[in-house]
């Protein structure tokens, strides 16, 4: 009888041990991962830096992305770029290169790069920003306005290897105003070539004084550009400078098919006006009403 009792107790102990082992095998202690999945690896997105771009002369073609740990499963689909179109992702280790194109922000401005956590990783430090560069072109927003003309070989002031030209204000400063301040005098604003508009404007303002007229509007105009400052060196374009605005009016935008004043004077009561419908230039009385678009040199 005693022997049977001992056998029964042994069977109970064995069953209890099997039950305990079974509980361990089912994974009740999973480390808090809900089923035993491995803990995601923490990665810091440290920086984004443009590649391929040179300010004013070449577009940025890519972004170098740097990480604290190799995010092995990172794909282009995990990345969002604001301000440019993303392309292919390449590279390994702590850096990746993301191709970009069709940059929509201005030269020297920033794009934003946001990264969603890829499989097996958690990303912190997102988003990052990167300064990107663009080749200057007519119609591009730049330094407070829109590029209206880029100097070509043979133009006054052209320097080989440099990008210079005219920036137009983003809109007309007036839809109709007289050229002078009421004084029929020669102002000395006789320059007609590229590069003479600023001197013309200064001569007109010095001669005509304070008031509301074409050159004074331009002389008083200021406009800011995000990230690059405030620009106050605007002037009324000369006859030839105004013609460059006309030739590129569609790309620059915002012009009316009406007459625009130049700063080029012909006599004490006559100055040059250009109609933006057909493009012809003519002498007009300084008391006539004309539109005004300011420019600045860069």
Distance CA 175, CA 172 (A): 7
Contacts of 147-153 spanning 24+ positions with Cβ under 8 A? 147/252, 147/298, 148/244, 148/245, 148/248, 148/252, 148/295, 149/241, 149/244, 149/245, 149/247, 149/248, 151/194
298 residues of the chain, pLDDT tens digit each: 445 445 444 544 444 544 444 444 444 444 444 556 789 999 999 999 999 999 888 999 999 999 999 999 999 999 999 999 999 999 999 999 999 999 998 888 999 999 999 999 999 999 999 999 999 999 998 899 999 999 999 999 999 988 999 999 999 999 999 999 999 999 999 999 999 999 999 999 999 999 999 999 999 999 988 667 899 999 999 999 999 999 999 999 999 999 999 999 999 999 999 999 999 999 999 999 999 999 999 9
User: Which domains are seen in the chain, by residue range?
Assistant: 41-131 (2.60.40.1220), 141-297 (no CATH)
Q: Using a CB cutoff of 8 Å and minimum separation of 24, what contacts does 286-289 make?
A: 286/178, 286/179, 286/180, 286/184, 287/178, 287/179, 287/180, 287/182, 288/178, 288/179, 288/259, 289/176, 289/177, 289/178
This model's pTM is above 0.85: no
Closest CA to 245 of 178, 170, 135: 170
Q: What are phi and psi of 134, to 5 degrees?
A: -140, 150
- Alpha-carbon separation of residue 150 from 168, 188, 224, 230, 250 (angstroms): 12, 27, 21, 21, 15
* Site of tokens 């064995």: 14
CA-CA-CA-CA torsion for 119, 122, 124, 128, nearest 10 degrees? 0
């Amino acid at each position: 009888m005693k022997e049977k009792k001992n056998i029964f107790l042994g069977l109970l102990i064995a069953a209890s041990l099997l039950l305990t082992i079974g509980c361990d095998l089912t994974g009740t202690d999973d480390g808090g991962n809900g089923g035993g999945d491995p803990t995601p690896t923490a990665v810091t997105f440290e920086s984004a830096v443009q590649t391929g771009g040179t300010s004013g002369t070449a577009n940025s073609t890519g972004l170098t992305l740097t990480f604290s740990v190799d995010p092995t499963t990172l794909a282009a689909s995990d990345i969002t770029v604001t301000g440019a179109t993303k392309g292919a992702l390449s590279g390994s280790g702590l850096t990746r290169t993301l191709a970009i194109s069709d940059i929509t922000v201005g030269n020297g401005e920033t794009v934003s790069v946001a990264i969603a956590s890829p499989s097996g990783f958690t990303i912190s430090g997102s988003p990052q920003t990167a300064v990107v560069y663009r080749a200057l072109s007519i119609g591009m927003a730049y330094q407070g306005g829109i590029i209206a003309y880029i100097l070509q070989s043979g133009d006054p002031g052209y320097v080989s290897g440099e990008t210079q030209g005219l920036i137009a204000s983003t809109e007309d400063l007036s839809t109709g105003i007289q050229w002078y301040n009421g004084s029929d005098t020669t102002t000395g604003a006789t320059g007609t070539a590229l590069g003479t508009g600023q001197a013309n404007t200064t001569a007109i303002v010095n001669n005509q004084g304070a008031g509301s007229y074409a050159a004074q509007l331009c002389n008083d105009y200021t406009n800011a550009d995000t990230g690059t400052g405030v620009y106050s060196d605007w002037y009324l374009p000369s006859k030839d400078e105004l013609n460059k605005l006309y030739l590129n009016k569609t790309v620059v935008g915002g012009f009316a098919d009406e007459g625009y004043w130049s700063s080029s004077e012909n006599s004490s009561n006559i100055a040059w006006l250009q109609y933006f419908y057909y493009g012809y230039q003519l002498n007009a009385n300084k008391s006539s009403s004309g539109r005004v678009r300011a420019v600045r040199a860069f």
